[in-house]
Structure 1
Amino acid sequence: MKGRMAVLGRIEGQRAAAQIVDGRLQDFLIEPAENTVPLPGAIYRAVVDRPLKGQGGMILRLPGGTAFLRQGKGLSPGQTLLVQVTGFADEGKATPVTSKILFKSRYAIVTPNAPGINVSRSVKDDDVRESLLEIAHETMGNEGYGLIVRSSAAGADADEVAEDIAEMCASAADTLAGESGEGAELLLDGPDPHHLAWRDWAEIDNVATEASAFEDHAVPDLLEPFCTPYVGLSGGASMYVEPTRALVAVDVNTGADTSSAAGLKANLAAARDLPRQLRIRGLGGQITIDFAPMPKKDRRQMEQALRSAFRADAVDTTLVGWTPLGHYELQRKRERRSLMESLPR
């Protein structure tokens, strides 16, 4: 099927969402099986527990668990503060949080701690920018919060944008009012996969929400290749994406092609598909790529291909560079839980 489709459904009771573009799976979201796992985006009133020596951070108490705040300067044990979950914790580790609270919706991001009204730099048209700024100023009034109008608002109805901004400001006011309470408490839960799909998947042509939507659009079949390390690439090349406790290892192979350009062709194909593979598999952290053998003169072209591929990816990824052994390293935010951990067993 041609076009961009969002398929919303459940897998054995867990809410899930699939983005399919021209019949190809582009993204997949699924909620954790455990209801007690803090979701990224959730806002808590946390209690400062103790400093983490040598790292400059603080261990905080959350309802039923602990969190790690990287910047703990000026905090003292027993103090309460609002924090927001930034990603999923590795097994046995504290939940990562930040004190920089954001309220993110389809068209706007409210920033209580960063005043000022701005429009996403992705919106290049000056007239559109002025129109969005006018809507934002009229809707915000004297709230005192900061606001970023997202690029998705550029083609949206003005009333819908204004309503979205107003709802986010109201949500911010209600949530921030809980800062004055005592003890650790969940103030605002993180978005589930259906909400994330509505919020972050722009330019969707069709949305399927029927009970049989996943089966009707063959989502289980589209998802199956991402449950194994092997990834087939063009020209008979392949790569293997294998997570370990320490890092994600990516190995690129040329296959049967023995030409002088085989390594570069395989590596370029791997670079183009790698963001999609990591996104759907829910993999983050340190990623080490063992590219197929190629001349050192081709490294610049490979770096350009990686930058281009990850520029369009929504998950923050830092291209670190080449190691002395000739591997390439990335650092990717752990926004998602591993697909294999999340799927029902």
Structure 2
Amino acid sequence: MNTELIIDVRETEVAIALLEDKQLVELNKEQSNVQFSVGDIYLGKVKKIMPGLNAAFVDVGYEKDAFLHYLDLGPQFNTLQKYVKEHYSRKSRPVPLSKFNLLPDIEKGGKITDVLTSGQPVMVQIAKEPISTKGPRLTSEISIAGRNLVLVPFNDKVSISQKITAPEERKRLKRLMESIIPKNFGVIVRTAAEGKKVAVLDAELRSLIKRWETTIEKLKTPGYPALLTSEIKRTSAILRDMLNGSFNSIYVNDENVYHEIREYIESIAPEKEKIVKLYNGNVPIFDQFGVEKQIKSLFGRTVSIKSGAYLIVEHTEALHVIDVNSGNRSKSSNDQETNALEVNLAAVDEIARQLRLRDMGGIIVVDFIDMHNNENRQMVYERMKELMSRDRAKHNILPLTKFGLMQITRQRVRPEMHIETKEVCPACNGTGKVEATILLDDQIENRLSMICKGKKQKSITIKLHPYIAAFLKKGVLSKRFKWALKYKCAINLQPMSSYHFLEYHFFDKHDNEIEF
């Protein structure tokens, strides 16, 4: 599989698109002012105890208090609290965790009032970003993720990823980690660690322990709520979690981010350093790689599949509903059962893609076309499980009911990706009327005349819709050629698929827009 990552760095956000065989399967947008990310560690302040929910609300600096349930405290919560208390505002060097005496585990069915009181400080980690009207979801079972390992302080277990299936490799990794892990630290061995040598894993383990020690060091600074450790940037986090042997190219349009990614990849996978490439083209990077067009076609309420079939995607507060429609396929010469199976199998491919692309979480109900044959229903179910196995989010899939409904639950840790594909027409501002299109080339020429005569430009780039660009370039004596002779100015026409039909802008030789 050909896997590419396209990174579009803008003034207010960084957009990251993952392509598999040129198809867009994941899209992440990181705002430059985002404050709370999954993995961030805070020293928070307990604001309110809710015995009825067996939970507490914790102030971590967000406008709404974050939610911490008793079951998310972790078995060694009392040890964590004791450790934090001993190091908070302490001037001397922190005691290494390997020399700290662990307290007994808290009761699994205990009460929140037994371990927390209002006003006390508590170390927490963001488990879910703020979603809709809810504040962040917290956990006190702290973990620090690396590419191959996840470090879990106040733990003594070595867990191996279930995706590593070879028994000998599982035994090797477990034996290896048990020999190098310090006391009072646990570790989760990730799938990427398969086949890695002890030197690589040992170096990463030391790096993760160093990050933990840096986190504890910040407890010396009085005052809370306070950010102790921030998760690495979304770009690097995606690379850390997804980079594998199938990655072929990473394209980025910003030199600073380019160097940052190269340095990061050099540290985790030196052999992959050369796949990072700086994009310097004039066409926007998402247009160049066909991402913009896919975004417009994939994020609407209606999503086309193939051969006339399509999906209807609806979002409610409680769940997401996806309806599979056969469309023109109902006219196929195949019998109804065969036709339904073909459409449903094609729909499964697109649904698995849509769940990753929109990062849809919670409950998803899919209404497939009715099939009477149990074997066909099982085939659709197995196909969905196979495709969803590529999804990094935790999920659970139930077989189709006799009514053709499939229920899926998928982990949600960030707000769902939503892009409005329909917008008020910028040409008519919603009135439904525009200037006569036959006059468009005259309007462009009038603006061009003003620029050439008034602003003394000798080289101009006109960015406009591809159809209009093609019209202006048509023929040996094209309008572009005539304008260049008439105004003694070099004119370049640059097609922009993201522009609406009547949109155009003028740019100088330094690619700065010429204002009127």
TM over 0.5: yes
1:260 and 2:336 correspond: yes
Distance 1:221 1:139, change over 3 A: farther
Distance 1:205 1:131 in 2: 30
Contact 2:324 2:347 in 1 (8 A): yes
What 5-or-longer segments of structure 1 have no aligned partner? none
Residue 236 (structure 1) aligns with: 308
Contact 1:225 1:231 in 2 (8 A): yes
Of 63, 80, 83, the residue aligned with 2:124 is 83
Query: What is the percentage of aligned positions where both structures have the same residue?
Result: 22
More strand by share: 1
Distance 1:210 1:156 in 2: 32
Distance 1:225 1:169, change over 3 A: farther
Which structure 2 residues correspond to residues 265-276 of structure 1 after superposition, within 5 A?
265-276=342-353
Distance 1:342 1:195 in 2: 27
Of 159, 170, 174, the residue aligned with 2:214 is 174
Distance 1:328 1:45 in 2: 42
Residue 156 (structure 2) aligns with: 115
Distance 1:294 1:84, change over 3 A: same
Distance 2:325 2:203 in 1: 51
Contact 1:112 1:144 in 2 (8 A): yes
Count residues in correspondence: 341
Distance 1:150 1:80, change over 3 A: same
The aligned amino acid for 1:263 is A
Distance 1:244 1:11, change over 3 A: farther
The aligned amino acid for 1:184 is P
Distance 1:70 1:179, change over 3 A: farther
Distance 1:12 1:225 in 2: 25
Distance 1:285 1:121 in 2: 23
Distance 1:78 1:321 in 2: 47
Contact 1:50 1:77 in 2 (8 A): yes
Please state how far the C-alpha of 1:134 moved relative to its aligned partner.
Answer: 5.9
Moved more, 333-342 or 319-328: 319-328
The aligned amino acid for 1:192 is K
Residue 298 (structure 2) aligns with: 226
Of 218, 221, 225, the residue aligned with 1:184 is 225
SS of residue in 2 equivalent to 1:340:
coil
Please state how far the C-alpha of 1:183 moved relative to its aligned partner.
Answer: 2.2
Please state how far the C-alpha of 1:224 moved relative to its aligned partner.
Answer: 2.5
Contact 1:15 1:192 in 2 (8 A): no
What 5-or-longer segments of structure 2 have no aligned partner? 71-110, 255-278, 280-284, 424-516
Distance 1:179 1:334, change over 3 A: farther
Distance 2:420 2:138 in 1: 21
Distance 2:238 2:38 in 1: 14
Moved more, 111-120 or 19-28: 111-120
Of 409, 417, 426, the residue aligned with 1:331 is 409
Contact 1:81 1:179 in 2 (8 A): no
Distance 1:63 1:341, change over 3 A: farther
Residue 30 (structure 1) aligns with: 29
Contact 1:240 1:251 in 2 (8 A): yes
The aligned amino acid for 1:55 is L
Q: Deviations over 1:216-268 (max 9, x none)?
A: 43332333323212222234321122223332121111122233122232222
Distance 1:179 1:327, change over 3 A: farther
Please state how far the C-alpha of 1:314 moved relative to its aligned partner.
Answer: 0.6
Which structure 2 residues correspond to residues 125-140 of structure 1 after superposition, within 5 A?
125=166, 128-129=169-170, 132-133=173-174, 136-137=177-178, 139-140=180-181
Which structure would you say has the larger Rg?
2
Distance 1:16 1:169, change over 3 A: farther
Distance 2:417 2:297 in 1: 12
Distance 1:218 1:121 in 2: 36
Of 223, 241, 248, the residue aligned with 1:205 is 248
Please state how far the C-alpha of 1:12 moved relative to its aligned partner.
Answer: 4.1
Contact 1:109 1:147 in 2 (8 A): yes
The aligned amino acid for 2:156 is P
Residue 149 (structure 1) aligns with: 189
Residue 249 (structure 1) aligns with: 321
Residue 50 (structure 1) aligns with: 48
Distance 2:399 2:44 in 1: 37
The aligned amino acid for 1:206 is S
Contact 2:398 2:407 in 1 (8 A): yes
Distance 1:115 1:24 in 2: 42
The aligned amino acid for 1:16 is A
CA RMSD of aligned residues (A): 3.0
Moved more, 152-161 or 112-121: 152-161
